Amino acid sequence: MCQVAYSDADRIQRCKQQKCSCAVQADDWVEIWSSQQCPIGVLTAGPKFCRGRMKALHCKPREHIQEKTKAWSPPPEKQPLIAVNLHNAELCSEMDPEEAKAPARQNIQLRWIRPYRAGAGLRNVGNTCYMNAMLQCLTYTPPLANYMLSLQHKPTCLGMRFCMLCSMRNHINWALHHPGWVFQPSDTFIVGFHRQKQEDAHEFLMFIVNAMHKSSPHESKQCDLDSEGRDLMHQIFQGHWRSQIKCLHCGGISETFDPYLDITLDIKTAQSVQQALTQLVEPEELVGENAYNCSICRKNVPATKTLSFHRTSKVLMFVLKRFLDFTGKKLSKRVQYPQWLDMQPYVSVQSQGALVYTLYAVLVHAGLSCHSGHYFCYIKAGDGQWYQMDDNKVTSCDIASVLRQEAYVLFYVQEE
């Protein structure tokens, strides 16, 4: 049931004017997998679609999986391009001594712990470029990759319950340790999405992030404004907005704080990300029909509303609004974005010095609407080199090529 249109919808994410709740989608997704628990703990058959309902089918013993994974060893130096299917398989690899130094989840590492170069490419099965491009962006998110490479999540996993963190851990480890290879991502990533139809890469991103958050039940999920918390997803991706309303009659101030994972930027009149951010935090006048109902004045009065960042997240994910309402038509225009971004002008509490973020991934949509086209991305690997990741193709490029794209989603990580 679409939470916006209030009607059955085969693809609830098609509503572009007001998107359906990713949290609701993630809840349904986890509930579906929880209700189809594998008695052995390893699902080897991909989810099958039956009249709109996802049902996980037969299982195979864990020993069968272990036999298959023994044959998956890192390739020699001159190993030719090989296609591999990673389907719910457990990664069999020894942890590098340098990776063992990765910090605990209470103290995430924002810089790469090792200078990894570009890893494996991803096979496009049907029309899964949206998934491949976004998985590559997540794979090269330094704090997330550092955590997954340290293999710290495994002791906290619930085991019998499906875990998106385990799937992402296996994916990142395999991708980064097998440069020059090509493999098919696990079917678990695409549950609830279509193979043969174009999907929204941004909604897939939020689905994965929420699913990883749901996979950490023993970790604190409190939205504490004054601390980072213990939840991995909150530490990396979550920040807080501050919304302040000031009554122009009595001078009273009302403040609310709300968490965010991604930041949507209106680019209709903006020529750059900085200009879009400036427009986002500009005070808004509340007058006439939009007058503020002041609790002190006890009547509708003129007021100003100001939105700002109370606490910025370690990783910023900017979504440029390119798809228009229900039509799905694309706003094609160049919007400039910097390699280094200072967020200090947009935070509510000004402090000395800059709050600098570094660009590390750019997701691009090529096409005229959200219903068609092609997704690919640019990522900055641990060795500092930029690469274009286009499904199975992995090619090096320069920063100039990265900065002249019509970006859809931009990823920045905070400088330590």
Catalytic residues: 129, 374
- Cβ-in-10-Å burial (0-12, 13-18, 19+) of 364 comes to buried
Length of the chain counted residue by residue: 416
Pull the structure tokens for residue 286: 């509340």
The DSSP code for 42 is -
CA distance 55 to 262: 31
CA distance 388 to 367: 18
Task: Write the DSSP string, 201-214.
Answer: HHHHHHHHHHHHHH
Question: For residues 380 and 403, is the Cβ–Cβ distance under 8 A?
Answer: no
Pull the structure tokens for residue 233: 């997803």
Residue 2: CB atoms within 10 A of its CB come to: 15
Question: For residues 413 and 343, is the Cβ–Cβ distance under 8 A?
Answer: no
Question: For residues 150 and 116, is the Cβ–Cβ distance under 8 A?
Answer: no
Task: Write the DSSP string, 81-134.
Answer: P-EEE-SSPPP--PPPTTGGGPPPTTS--SS-SS------EE---SS-HHHHHH
Helix crossing, 164-177 with 129-139: angle to 10°?
80
Task: Write the DSSP string, 279-335.
Answer: HHTS-EEE-GGG-EEETTTTEEE-EEEEEEEEE--SEEEEEE--EETTTTEE-----
The DSSP code for 259 is E
